[in-house]
Amino acid sequence: MGLDIEVISPRDLPSLHPFVRSEGVEAAIRIGDDRYFDPAQVAVGFATAAAERGAYVYPNTQVLAVEIDGTRVTGVSTTKGYIRAPVVVDAAGAWTRTIAERSGLQVPLVSTRQQLMVTEEIPGALKDLPMVRIMDAAVYMRPCLGGFLWGVYEEHPRFFDMGSWEADFDINNMPLDRSVLDAAAADVVNQLPILSTAAIREFRGGLPTMTADGHHILGPSPDAPGFFFASGCNVAGLSIAPALGEKLARWIVDGRPPMDLSCMAPARFSGRSWTDEDLQRDAAWQYRHFYGAV
């Protein structure tokens, strides 16, 4: 696919990254095109660019429900009034399901806790060091604010029913579990010893959405013309969002996707039912195997 990728000897790891040890590593890959960025700036960047192109942006405005007349979408009611709209995209992240269910639509995704730590400054933790992913342990680490940001795709992820939380929910109030990260640091102590010793500046989490088959949920709802989904990010929404946004826009305007996106289409769930238990079991498997390894 034209990416800058090569298999390297595990012995060469410390020369690429002085905080990585080769001990116990059986195979290593260098990915020259890997990048990291500040996620908060992504949303701000998209919103600013949309406004510059004529979109109306209403910050701090809650969508209460998507209005459906018969089966067709007619608009959204918000905390700042009603907006008439023949097309609505439910891209409410962890709240996608809550919004859909208020309109009587089912969508199989689960809001999943993803925790991370940011260390205090560490001499030598330069911002241009590569990201590190230890596939078998599902642990990742990248430079951040003069130290490192790191996290793990935990084996038994915690899911949240967003509908049961107050409307003024703040992500900073989400319950965290430090023991998960301590166990992950112990798991990779031979490869990333810094994780077990560095002082912690910040411990926080977010709520990406997981699906049972690991694919996004993108496209029209088969049950309500005008109702589109852009969700089920499976912890990869930042990297793929520009491409998905572009494809969904074409799908809405042209009435069909510009390429085969059936693996992401909500129609793949038509005629199927699922229990929360099954959904969470399969979503947990997808989450833990995000890097493909065991």
Ligand X SMILES: Cc1cc2nc3c(=O)[nH]c(=O)nc-3n(C[C@H](O)[C@H](O)[C@H](O)COP(=O)(O)OP(=O)(O)OC[C@H]3O[C@@H](n4cnc5c(N)ncnc54)[C@H](O)[C@@H]3O)c2cc1C
Site residues (CB under 6 A) for ligand X? Answer: 39, 62-63, 91-95, 99, 114, 116, 151, 206, 208, 231, 233, 235-239
Residues 6+ apart with CB under 8 A from 82: 67, 75, 76
CB of 225 to ligand X, least distance (A): 21
- Which tokens hold the place of 114? 């993803």
CB of 271 to ligand X, least distance (A): 26
Instruction: List 141's β-bridge partners, or say none.
Output: 132, 150
CB of 98 to ligand X, least distance (A): 7
Distance of CA 170 to the CA centre of its chain: 18
- 88 vs 198 by CB, closer to ligand X: 88
User: Is residue 242 classed as helix, strand or coil in its secondary structure?
Assistant: helix
Residues 6+ apart with CB under 8 A from 169: 162
Angle between helices 237-254 and 39-52 (to 10 degrees): 30
Nearest to 278, CA basis, from 267, 268, 286: 286
Cα angle 244, 249, 94 (rounded to 5 degrees) comes to: 50
CB of 141 to ligand X, least distance (A): 12
User: Is residue 102 classed as helix, strand or coil in its secondary structure?
Assistant: helix
CB of 23 to ligand X, least distance (A): 26
- 19 vs 287 by CB, closer to ligand X: 287
Q: Calculate the CA dihedral of residues 228, 232, 237, 241 and round it to 10 degrees.
A: -20
CB of 4 to ligand X, least distance (A): 18
- 13 vs 109 by CB, closer to ligand X: 109
- 208 vs 266 by CB, closer to ligand X: 208
- Which tokens hold the place of 6? 């090569």
Residue type for position 21: R
Residues 6+ apart with CB under 8 A from 259: 247
- 20 vs 92 by CB, closer to ligand X: 92
- 39 vs 86 by CB, closer to ligand X: 39
Nearest to 218, CA basis, from 249, 248, 259: 248
- 89 vs 188 by CB, closer to ligand X: 89
CB of 238 to ligand X, least distance (A): 3
